[in-house]
Amino acid sequence: MNLAILARSSPLFTTSRILHRSIASKPFSCCSISNSPISINPKTPLFLRPPTFSATLSDLQKWQNWAKSIASSVKSSFTDSDNGPNSNDLHRELNWLIEDALENPQSLLTHNEFEIDYVLRLRADLDELYLLWKQRIEKRRPFQYVVGCEHWRDLVVSVEEGVLIPRPETELMVDLVDDVIKENEDLKEGLWVDLGTGSGAIAIGIVRILGDFGRVIATDLSHVAVQVASFNVNRYNLQDKISVKQGSWFEPLSGFEGRVAGLVSNPPYIPSGHVSGLQAEVGRHEPILALDGGEDGMADLLHLCNGAALMLKSGGFFAFETNGEDQCRFLVDHMETIHNGSFHNLEIIPDFAGIQRFVTGIRS
Ligand SMILES: C[S@@+](CC[C@H](N)C(=O)[O-])C[C@H]1O[C@@H](n2cnc3c(N)ncnc32)[C@H](O)[C@@H]1O
């Protein structure tokens, strides 16, 4: 079963996110590899905007009927072409869009068609709602970018073009950290790092379970990701606990060698050759910097393994997300051979769909 279909947040059928990438510690710049627009001020998610617009019930119903009809016209065409959403999925998203856009979504149900002049308060004007739904269907713009947020664990994180929409399977990363700190309470008080933080979802999830003394450094090469992660960190009032830094992988951590208690990352891991076959929502709209893992998808993962050996203190924990069993096995082999004796308790852990997804271990 595709978990993404069940999540309010994810119409992105994430099984298409096949991981991969290449090996060197890539000296690329985000501008040369990303086709995303540079955004300095992350946008406020639709549901958090003030309801400063209004429309009559009649005009809103016209929009809703138009939106439903174009959603219905899709049928299974997106699913057939690239495993994209079908009409049912789009209808569900339309309801969510209404929930986010109306101050009181119930009023659409409680006022009947004879109250056509009844005025509803909106968080976006009707023209914008027409535009947003057109973009969703015609451009296959991801729903999360349309409404500006993603529901992830108990969080609602802002997202926009240029930053990866956090996926349901990645939620488990926070549970893995929760498990390890229950076994070793000392880890709670040390420094944690989330490399390639994107929206900051993992860093925020982790710091909330670390408790009073928890500190996380969240890094990303992408300027947009750093802006969006900082926005999310501030929105959850965690700016004293999470420091967001821009730079390539371990670069922003200079001086912390051998001092890190926990290191997590969900790096780009899709093989370059698979990127063009991704669902349109992903391939056309999400940042290539977040997806493309190079020729075999392993480059950043291997770089991170090597860095983990250097950065973690003895007893320190790491967890990496991969695209599946082959990458997990490759990583474990790499650690057992190249870093023989540096790590113990190496484990491969499946996600909720049963796909071997994570590699975890402890620095010896
Ligand atoms: C698969 S996304 C994960 C984002 C986020 N952690 C999540 O799980 O939703 C990979 C992230 O790594 C970042 N990234 C790619 N290359 C990087 C590098 N050399 N150094 C730091 N971050 C990098 C991307 O910008 C992107 O945000």
| CA–centroid distance, residue 196 to ligand 1 (Å) | 3
Averaged pLDDT for residues 290-303? 97
Averaged pLDDT for residues 59-68? 96
- CA–CA separation, 133 vs 128, rounded Å? 9
**233 — pLDDT class (breaks 50, 70, 90):** very high
Residue 178 CB contacts under 8 Å (≥ 6 apart), including other chains: 209
| CA–centroid distance, residue 98 to ligand 1 (Å) | 31
CA-nearest residue, atom 12 of ligand 1: 196
Averaged pLDDT for residues 103-113? 79
Pocket mutation for ligand 1, best pick of 26, 221, 292, 323 (most atoms within 8 Å of C-beta): 221
Averaged pLDDT for residues 143-169? 97
**240 — pLDDT class (breaks 50, 70, 90):** very high
Averaged pLDDT for residues 114-123? 86
| CA–centroid distance, residue 188 to ligand 1 (Å) | 24
pLDDT tens-digit series, residues 166-219? 999 999 999 999 999 999 999 999 999 999 999 999 999 999 999 898 999 999
DSSP for 12-55 reads S-GGG------SS-----HHHH--SPP-SSPPPPGGGS---EEE
User: For the sheet containing 242-246, what is the strand order?
Assistant: 242-246, 215-220, 191-195, 260-265, 312-321, 356-363, 343-350
301, 321 contact by CB (below 8 A): no
Backbone angles phi, psi at 34, to 5 degrees: -90, 140
| CA–centroid distance, residue 266 to ligand 1 (Å) | 7
Backbone angles phi, psi at 135, to 5 degrees: -65, -40
> CB within 6 Å of ligand 1 — which residues?
26, 164, 166, 170, 196-199, 201-202, 219-222, 225, 248-249, 266-268, 289-290
- CA–CA separation, 41 vs 362, rounded Å? 38
pLDDT tens-digit series, residues 3-33? 332 334 333 333 332 222 221 222 222 222 2
Beta carbons within 10 angstroms of residue 76's beta carbon:
12
Specify the amino acid at residue 280: A
The residues that bridge with 319 in the sheet, in sequence order, are 264, 360
Residue 49 tokens read as 């905007």
| CA–centroid distance, residue 111 to ligand 1 (Å) | 46
Among the listed residues 207, 310, 202, 319, the one whose alpha carbon sits nearest the alpha carbon of residue 262: 319
Which of 83-92, 102-111, 296-305, 309-318 comes out lowest in average pLDDT? Answer: 102-111
Tally helices (H) and strands (E) across the chain. 16, 11
Burial of 28 (0-12, 13-18, 19+ CB in 10 A): exposed
| CA–centroid distance, residue 297 to ligand 1 (Å) | 13
Pocket mutation for ligand 1, best pick of 28, 157, 266 (most atoms within 8 Å of C-beta): 266
Pocket mutation for ligand 1, best pick of 172, 220, 303 (most atoms within 8 Å of C-beta): 220
| CA–centroid distance, residue 127 to ligand 1 (Å) | 34
- CA–CA separation, 247 vs 243, rounded Å? 13
**Helix/strand/coil for 303:** helix
| CA–centroid distance, residue 126 to ligand 1 (Å) | 35
CA-nearest residue, atom 7 of ligand 1: 166
Going by their DSSP bridges, the two strands 343-350 and 356-363 should be labelled as antiparallel
**Helix/strand/coil for 11:** coil
Where do the CATH 3.40.50.150 domains begin and end in the chain?
Answer: 168-363
168-363 CATH? 3.40.50.150
Residue 108: predicted pLDDT: 77
CA-nearest residue, atom 2 of ligand 1: 290
The closest-lying atom of ligand 1 relative to the alpha carbon of residue 225 is 27
